[in-house]
Amino acid sequence: LNFKEAFSVKGYDQMDVYYEEVDTKELSIDTTKIKNFESSFTKGFGIRAVVNGKTGFAFGNDLRRLRDTAERAVKLAKFSNVEVKFEKFSKYPKVDGIFDKKLIDLDEALLIELANQGLDFAKDKKCSAPAGGLIASTGKTVFVNSEGLDLEEVSSRYSQHLEVKKKDAPGWWFSDSNSFSAKYLDVVKGACKMAELNSVKDTIKTCKCAVVLHPFACYRMLSNGVYPLFNSDYVQKGKSPYAGRIGELIASKKLTIYDNGILPNGLNSGAFDGDGVPCQKTSLVEKGILKNFIYDLTRAQKEGVKSTGNAARAHYSPPHVSISNFYIEPGHRDLVKEMDKGLVVYMPLNAHSIDPVTGHFSLGVDVAFWVEKGEIKFAPKNVMISGSVQEFMKNIKEVGNDFMQTGKYAGPSLMGELNVTGS
């Protein structure tokens, strides 16, 4: 696969090619049975061409049409207003734990055995399992540009999830990692335990109280309400309330946050980003003080700063700025055990309605538990949580000693105070 052949077309100043391929195998569970296997192999490439400072983009799946696609990108450049100058870098980090070769050609029989073990356990616990799955994928990314960069990286992902129901009480659990794990049973146990806790229902009164957001909830709420605030694209468009506030206290002193693109075993770690820029660890917040925003080349050059290696890219679209791993340093305390009275939230509903501009939210809750003296007492009915994510970040009282990677969130449970609407 010689992607540099694209560079033989005429009429451009700079060019890059980003290629990706993914091989996936998925076992699905449906109505307490193994339903089927699905397998897919997808590949594609995207090409950016810079002509007189303007960037054109085209993509395709058919490698025989690499040159055609490059010509399209050149032709489209004059209609664009995206300005970028490609750069060359010489040093790249070595990132551990992003590829597990066990996930190439994983044996179907093994996945079936793990799934059956899990389903037997759920049955013993008197839980039905409406849906679930085990998904293994491996992928390769290639990046070349006309400045001489020629990069390649392999990665892998293993995800397992299960939804269960005990009578009418739902429970679910999932786990994501870059390497194979034979512990599907842990996911099943997590789901069954949640269903069990969920089957004890009661009501609570409307109050302002201590709230612990489990990493599952942090993932959903922060990705919508907080990640964009650090994104230079938002900042430059005047949409981030953090704009112009570097060096100011914007969050609780308990909070230290990094965008860590080279986190070992990180779900979104890698050696290079979609611009071919080396990935790095960028300090965003240090003990509550705003330190930096995240950049890709386009946005960095606009401000005359260095890219932080945050160009996210898929073959079918030009790069955009995105968090890699939103890493929050864990603390030393078990937040639920130390809670006197309050709510621990696992799954808020409709978190995509959080408006990052105002930070305001009021969300229904799918899974949350009422805690008294460090013990989960019951699942309150019809609760909503409301407040502002920006205020929540300011008022975090404690960060937990747990740590979980889910989506782009890599951090502990967080405790603060929110309005809780009860029955």
Partner 1 sequence: LTAKRGDQLQRDFFTRYSKYSKDFENYEDELVDTAKHVVKLLDAKLPPSGKFKVLLDSKNTGLFAHEAVGHACEADFVLQEGTILQGKLGEQIGSEHVTIVDDPSAFQWGSYKYDDEGVKASATKLIEDGVLKNYMQTRETSEKLDMDVTGNARAQNYNHLPLPRMSNTFFESGKYTFEELLKELKDGYYLVRSGGGGEVAVIEGTFTFSCGRVYEVKNGELGKLLKGVTFSGKILDVLRNVLGVEKKKPKFSFGYCGKNGQRVPVGDGGSHTLVSEMYLGGES
List contacts with partner 1 (CB under 8 A): 30-31, 38, 40, 42, 128, 130-131, 163, 165, 168, 170, 206, 208, 237-239, 241, 349-353, 355, 357-358, 360-364, 366, 382, 384, 386, 419, 421
Identify which of residues 124 and 168 has a Cβ nearer to partner 1 in the complex: 168
Separation CA 4–CA 15 (nearest Å): 10
Smallest distance from the beta carbon of 71 to partner 1, in angstroms?
26
Q: Which is nearer to partner 1, 263 or 347 (CB)?
A: 347
Give whichever of 218 and 271 is closer to partner 1, judged by the CB atom.
Answer: 218
* Inter-residue contact 212 to 339 (CB < 8 Å): yes
Label residue 335 exposed, middle or buried (CB < 10 Å: 0-12, 13-18, 19+).
buried
- Of the pair 57, 172, the CB lying nearest partner 1 is at 172
> Residue 127 CB, nearest distance to partner 1 (Å)?
12
Other beta carbons within 10 angstroms of residue 373's beta carbon come to: 10
- The number of CA neighbours under 13 Å toward the Cβ of 207 is 11
Quick one: 242 exposed, middle or buried, by C-beta within 10 A (0-12, 13-18, 19+)?
buried
Six token digits for residue 328: 């929050």
State which residue, 165 or 313, has the beta carbon closest to partner 1: 165
Nearest approach, Cβ of residue 176 and partner 1 (Å):
14
How far apart are CB 5 and partner 1 at their closest, in Å? 27
What CA–CA distances, in Å, run from 215 to 314, 344, 409?
A: 26, 11, 7
Output b/e per residue, 84-99; b: 16+ Cβ within 10 A: bebbeeeebbebeebb
We find the least distance from the C-beta atom of residue 31 to partner 1, in angstroms, to be 5
CA dihedral for 214, 220, 224, 230, sign (positive or negative): positive
Nearer to partner 1, 314 or 349 (CB): 349
40 vs 317, beta carbon nearer partner 1 = 40
Q: How far is the CB of 286 from partner 1 (least distance, A)?
A: 23
Distances (CA, A) of 389 to 28, 172, 196, 244, 292: 35, 25, 30, 19, 19
Exposed, middle or buried, 423 (CB in 10 Å: 0-12/13-18/19+)? exposed
Calpha distance 174→161 (Å, rounded): 4
Distance CA 293, CA 360 (A): 22
Residue closer to partner 1 by CB (options 30, 372) is 30
245 vs 373 by CB, closer to partner 1: 245
Distance CA 384, CA 391 (A): 17
The C-alpha R_g of the chain, in whole angstroms, comes to 23
Q: From CA 408, how far away is CA 131, in angstroms rounded?
A: 24
What is the identity of the amino acid at 141? Answer: T
H or E segment and range at residue 260 = strand 257-260
Cα of first residue to Cα of last residue in the chain, in angstroms, is 62
Amino acid letter at 294? I
Among candidates 394, 392, 383, which has minimal Cα distance to 221?
Answer: 392
Q: How far apart are CA 15 and CA 35, in angstroms?
A: 45
